[in-house]
């Protein structure tokens, strides 16, 4: 405690000594400071400093014009704020409310103000140091639990006295190092099993894709894709947008727009209109633009279950334009919502596809595609029995496949296992079974 007080007093002395030695600004310094503040837009500070300058030297060249410029910027009149500079006795003008503030402070010498601010700042710093010292002592008395064995450990200890495991930041560094070493052995650039969407890794749904492409080629109407969460709707839409962009203008929209004008702006920009001109387009100009470019416009809208009646009407009008087609994706309840709330759009559907869970072959293809994309080989390090369990616990839902693989990789790194076999996956299978029963 004594050391903290001595440190605080030393800091107070260091801050106060320069304050006593500091000199007030000269008129030229005030003018330069006010000019710089005016140029950067700090009109309040610029006005304050130019008034202090005029109190010291009412005839300073350029000061009055600078103040008038500041007042013009603030939307005020130039008159009656300053007395005219004349060789004879100047007029006495009552200061405005804005000008009165620096006048009050001017009674106190700049040296005194600087000293007071210096001492005040040092005192505040001393209080902060004392509070930080008190908090730090309380922090050191706290305990935490070891991640491995659960033993209670003081906050200032980095290694468990019971099992020897690292704690806190050192634990994170050791885990990170283990991850890097494990990935390096497999030649992985990073973990392949994150929930990031990679359209280029799209696998499965061959029959569904064939039906969609046939309807797009015939330009017969709109398409709705439905499936539960994690079934691959978004990946499919983004993959389609990449494929269809060759012969069409394909625009992917992550969810139904709230502002239809913003949707039109995005579409016309995708069709080659400059950003400055895009804001002037409406749905009728878009129709003329579509005819002029001569390509089909395909709008792929995700989260279709969030459609509202308000956005459906202009969207339906957009879909009625010749050469404009909608491909929408949503949860299974989207069909009933369309029938009940936005029947006109439902009547314009020519294809309604419900994505089914993928089979075991596609599950392996999905895992292989992810691993090879990030530098690995085949389905290594997953053993055959591990792949079967992943297929079983995921139910053929792509997102669950990826999450199960991510869990398996993390657990293998923690346990130091070189391969992921069925025994390791049985732990996850057992946990999921207990979760379903609870």
pLDDT, residue 146, reads 66
In the beta sheet, which residues pair with residue 351? 223
108 in helix, strand or coil? Answer: coil
pLDDT (0 to 100) of residue 163: 66
CATH architecture, domain 25-108: Alpha Horseshoe (1.25)
Low-confidence stretches of the chain (pLDDT beneath 50)? 2, 19-22, 77-107
SS3 269: helix
Structure tokens at 317: 């009008």
Measured CA distances, 185 to 181, 239, 402, 417, 422 (Å): 6, 31, 21, 12, 21
State which fold the 360-437 domain adopts.
Helicase, Ruva Protein; domain 3 (1.10.8)
Compute CA distances 113 → 22, 23, 103, whole Å: 10, 11, 14
User: Tokens 């000019």 sit at which residue?
Assistant: 35
Give the closest residue to 223 by CA, choosing from 294, 340, 309, 324.
324
Element (H, E) at 10: helix 2-21
Q: Which CATH number fits domain 205-354: 1.10.287.610, 1.10.287.130, 3.40.50.300, 3.40.50.2300?
A: 3.40.50.300
Q: Please report, for the chain, the start and end positions of each structural domain, with discontinuous segments joined by +.
A: 25-108, 152-186, 205-354, 360-437
Query: Is the distance from CB of 187 to CB of 228 less than 8 angstroms?
Result: no
Distance CA 106, CA 398 (A): 73
Cβ atoms of 203 and 369 within 8 Å: the answer is yes
């Amino acid at each position: 405690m004594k050391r903290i007080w001595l440190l605080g007093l030393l800091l107070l002395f260091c801050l106060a000594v320069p304050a006593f030695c500091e000199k007030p600004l000269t008129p030229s310094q005030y003018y330069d400071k006010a000019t710089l503040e005016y140029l950067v837009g700090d009109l309040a500070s610029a006005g304050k400093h130019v008034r202090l300058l005029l109190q010291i030297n009412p005839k300073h060249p350029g000061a009055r014009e600078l103040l008038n410029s500041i007042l013009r910027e603030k939307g005020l009149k130039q008159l009656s704020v300053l007395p005219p500079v004349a060789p004879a006795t100047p007029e006495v003008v009552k200061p405005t409310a804005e000008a009165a503030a620096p006048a009050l402070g001017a009674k106190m010498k700049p040296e005194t103000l600087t000293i007071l601010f210096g001492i005040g700042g040092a005192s505040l710093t001393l209080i902060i140091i004392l509070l930080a010292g008190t908090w730090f002592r309380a922090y050191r008395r706290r305990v935490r639990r070891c991640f491995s064995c659960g033993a209670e450990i003081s906050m200032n200890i980095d290694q468990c006295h019971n099992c020897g495991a690292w704690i806190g930041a050192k634990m994170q560094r050791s885990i990170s190092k283990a991850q890097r070493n494990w990935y390096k052995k497999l030649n992985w650039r990073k973990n392949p099993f994150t929930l990031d969407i990679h359209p280029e890794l799209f696998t499965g749904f061959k029959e569904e894709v064939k039906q969609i492409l046939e309807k797009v080629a015939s330009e017969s109407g709109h398409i709705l894709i439905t499936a539960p969460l994690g079934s691959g709707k978004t990946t499919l839409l983004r993959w389609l947008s990449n494929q269809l962009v060759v012969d069409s203008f394909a625009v992917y929209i992550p969810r139904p727009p709230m502002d239809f004008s913003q949707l039109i702006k995005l579409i016309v920009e995708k069709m080659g209109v400059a950003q400055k001109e895009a804001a002037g387009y409406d749905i009728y100009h878009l129709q003329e633009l579509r005819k002029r470019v001569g390509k089909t416009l395909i709008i792929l809208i995700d989260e279709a279950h969030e459609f509202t009646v308000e956005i459906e009407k202009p969207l339906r009008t957009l879909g009625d334009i010749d050469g404009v087609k909608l491909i929408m994706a949503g949860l299974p309840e989207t069909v009933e919502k369309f029938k009940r709330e936005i029947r006109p759009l439902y009547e314009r559907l020519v294809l309604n596809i419900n994505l089914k869970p993928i089979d075991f072959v596609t599950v392996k293809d999905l895992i292989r595609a992810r691993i090879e994309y990030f530098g690995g080989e085949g389905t290594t390090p997953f053993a055959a029995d591990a792949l079967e369990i992943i297929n079983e616990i995921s139910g053929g839902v792509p997102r669950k496949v990826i999450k199960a693989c991510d869990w398996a990789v993390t657990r293998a790194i923690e346990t130091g296992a070189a391969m992921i076999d069925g025994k390791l996956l049985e732990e996850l299978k057992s946990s999921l079974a207990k979760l379903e029963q609870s």
